[in-house]
Amino acid sequence: MLRHTALFLHRDTISEDQKLAMLRGLAFLRMECAAVRAGDYGDDLFGGSSPLLAVPPWKRTPRWRVRGEGPPCNYDLALHLDFDDAAAAAASLAGERYRAVARFNASVTVPELTARVEWRYDGAPLVRRGLVRHTAMFLWAGEADAAARSRALAAARTLAEAPGVVSVVTGENSGRTAANFDWMVDVQLSDPAAARTLVEGPRYADAMGIIAPATKYEWTARVTHVMRGY
């Protein structure tokens, strides 16, 4: 299975009606893009970009000075679309229905900060409606060698041992788009309480402590959402 995952950051001017319209557009894709085998979408449970917007732009620390601290906020919204292969994905993503949704999304989000990755996994679609999905995307640091990358991927997979975790899958980017992120981790959890316990707990911190030195950690993109899977 080939999954196209995209995480979006709202513009600070977006209205509540536009947020709802964006959610409707993501739901529309499964029904109108015939090559989509399965999909999921949802908005961030833990505030999305609101912590960033609470700080005036002139008081924000530039990202190039906060590598060890990580991203200033979560992203706001996630989309996951599953395809049989790269040809099916390319046809759907180039189709007019997808492009119409993408044009609207670009008008209410920050397009240059949208985080995308195309990754492969085996088995049935990774969609369990009603459970919670935590997605985190990363960019490798230029100095990270093969051993450091292997340790980072292994650290992400240790999250499977945390209470409330149903599954953990890591995937490296298989797309050719230069703007794509390099890899991601997909964590499925039983409920929002388990998700909060994980991302605020020591096991997640320990994993990120290994991942951060191997990545451009300040650019990490994360969304935790209830699965609306279709």
Identify the CATH number of the domain in which residue 110 sits: 3.30.70.100
Give backbone dihedrals phi and psi of 33, rounded to 5 degrees, phi first.
-105, 105
Q: Indicate the number of domains in the chain.
A: 1
Percent of the chain with pLDDT over 70: 98
211 falls in which pLDDT band (50, 70, 90)?
Answer: very high
Residue 68 confidence (pLDDT): 66
Q: Answer positive or negative: Cα dihedral of 73, 176, 211, 58.
A: negative
Is pLDDT above 80 for 175? no
Q: Report which DSSP code applies to 182.
A: S
**Domain enclosing residue 222, as ranges:** 2-226
Residue 11 confidence (pLDDT): 94
Count helices and strands (H / E) in the chain.
Answer: 7, 8
Give backbone dihedrals phi and psi of 128, rounded to 5 degrees, phi first.
-130, 90
Does the pTM surpass 0.75? The reply is: yes
pLDDT tens sequence across 83-116? 999 898 888 888 888 899 999 999 999 999 999 9
Is pLDDT above 70 for 220? yes
Q: How far is CA 196 from the centre of its chain?
A: 16
Is pLDDT above 80 for 168? yes
Residues 6+ apart with CB under 8 A from 83: 1, 2, 3, 4, 35, 36, 37, 89, 92
Residues 6+ apart with CB under 8 A from 53: 12
* Contact yes or no for 106/190 (Cβ under 8 A): no
214 falls in which pLDDT band (50, 70, 90)?
Answer: very high
Is pLDDT above 90 for 159? yes
Give backbone dihedrals phi and psi of 141, rounded to 5 degrees, phi first.
-75, 145
Average pLDDT of span 191-198: 98
Cα–Cα–Cα angle for 115, 50, 208, rounded to 5 degrees = 55
* Residue 110 burial by Cβ neighbours in a 10 Å radius (0-12, 13-18, 19+): middle
Lowest mean per-residue pLDDT among 14-18, 90-94, 105-109, 134-138:
90-94
Is pLDDT above 80 for 59? no
Residue 31 confidence (pLDDT): 80
Q: Which two tokens mark 95?
A: 């189709």
Average pLDDT of span 119-145: 95
Q: How high is the mean pLDDT of the chain?
A: 92
Q: Report which DSSP code applies to 118.
A: E
Is pLDDT above 80 for 67? no
Percent of the chain with pLDDT over 90: 74
Report how far apart the first and last C-alpha atoms of the chain are (Å, whole number): 15
Average pLDDT of span 143-162: 97
Looking at per-residue pLDDT, the higher value among 163 and 88 belongs to 163
Q: Which two tokens mark 113?
A: 């900060």
* Contact yes or no for 9/71 (Cβ under 8 A): no
Taking the C-alpha atoms of residue 208 and residue 215, their distance in angstroms, rounded to an integer, is 10
